[in-house]
Amino acid sequence: MNTTDTFRRTKIICTLGPATESEEMLEQLIRSGADVIRLNMAHAKHDWTRGVIRRIRAVSQRIGRDVAIMMDIKGPEIRTGDVATPMELKAGEIFDFTVKPGGQGSEEVRSVDVNYKDLVKDITVGDTVLVDNGLLRLEVLAKDEARIRCRVLIPGELKSRRHINLPGVKVNLPSFTEKDRADSTVGIEEGIDFLALSFVREAADIELLRAFLAEKKSKVRIIAKIEDQSAIANLAEIVQACDGLMVARGDLGIECPFEELPVIQRRAVNACLAQGRPVIIATHMLESMITQPVPTRAEITDVANAVFEQADCVMLSGETTIGKYPIECVKMLDTIARRIEQEDGKDRRLAANFTGERMKVLHSAVVLANELPHAKLLTFTRHGFMAQGLALLRPTHSPILAFTPSIEVYRQLRLLRAVEPFLMPLASEPNETIENAISVLRREGRVSAGDRIVIATDILAQDRLVDSVQLRTVR
């Protein structure tokens, strides 16, 4: 019996919202193949957050499939204030953004407040201001301490609390805000697995969050979201500093020229593969399925490209928070990924830099598995390193069956491409651990008699543990 065909390498992240937060919908999401559940904290209240995390854990336990939970914290954000009624801005109109009380525009010039009072210090004449995901575009003409005067270049309707993007402008907002601190504390208390930090601009932003996690004695992994031009300029140092990277194409597509977006995505994936970090492709993957039961042909190709590029995860946002077809979206990603993975491997890049001796051992295990049709990789890990190392080497066809005694590590392994985690205590004698694992795999239908298993683990040799690669045939 060949069980390889039942396996999907690319992981699926689903964002929870009104369409999916019920127990019934959560169960369907997880059964349909969601590996990680994302909580977007931009508008989430703490009592909702605690309740929903406990609900995810309860449903996971009941159906026997533990998923990881990622909290996506808001980060620094510039927004417009409230407007009594939507304002229709006309092309060529002069318009003010006001940053101080009493800085309102005159009768001739309409205005809106902005939530960031130091905006006037960061912005210069000639800069572009994009509002509401770039639907409105303005050019800065002049500024004083109370207001920024602009000309409308692309007209449209301005509503309350719209997001502002400033392409190429270095904004001096803190990367980890008081709201982020409060939200993260709730997440840590409830046992989340990943924290996604929004608008990461440099490695120092990640170190700030890491210091906070150390203070809280938390082992939560940090996902850096790259969303502006500063992040692209500092990509190498950001990848090195984080535990995983999210290519957040929503704001990135506003902050950077459209035609640069595919180039940035590919560069980010390659940087992660080279430096040994998992990578997530996010935003607009199946956007049309928020309202339609089938995706566009272009969306299918977009998802396929992320799989061809060997990203660890693809992510759903609005599709599963407010969409009409959340379960169909998960099934669609699952179907596309499985089909593209059958093609995968014909144009394979070398995944990671083999610096340490252990990585060289893992590399030899992957080379051996690649040579054996239908072989599986088996490893044991207390902290996730062995499984992550194998995942980074992108085995051609073999699933990575990773056994860990830690529930935290088990959930964090859900993020890694081609890794299927199993929870099991590790025996003091390595051979006993291997036999126990093979028994579990037989019971779960993951291996059967005659299957070949490449084992990357440590073995006892003259009273010390040494890294080894073994080849076994299931009896």
Q: Where are the beta strands (DSSP E) in 179-238?
A: 194-197, 221-226
Quickly list H helices, 382-456: 385-392, 407-412, 430-443
How far is the C-alpha of 349 from the C-alpha of 314, rounded, in Å? 20
Active site residues: 38, 79, 225, 283
**Do the Cβ atoms of 13 and 319 come closer than 8 Å?**
no
How far is the C-alpha of 37 from the C-alpha of 16, rounded, in Å? 7
Quickly list H helices, 144-202: 178-190
How far is the C-alpha of 269 from the C-alpha of 38, rounded, in Å? 21
Instruction: Tell me the one-letter amino acid at 35.
Output: D
How far is the C-alpha of 231 from the C-alpha of 458, rounded, in Å? 39
Output DSSP code: residue 163: B
Contacts 24+ apart (CB under 8 A), 254-261: 254/130, 254/133, 254/134, 254/165, 254/167, 255/165, 255/167, 255/168, 255/227, 255/228, 255/229, 256/167, 256/228, 256/229, 256/232
Output DSSP code: residue 351: -
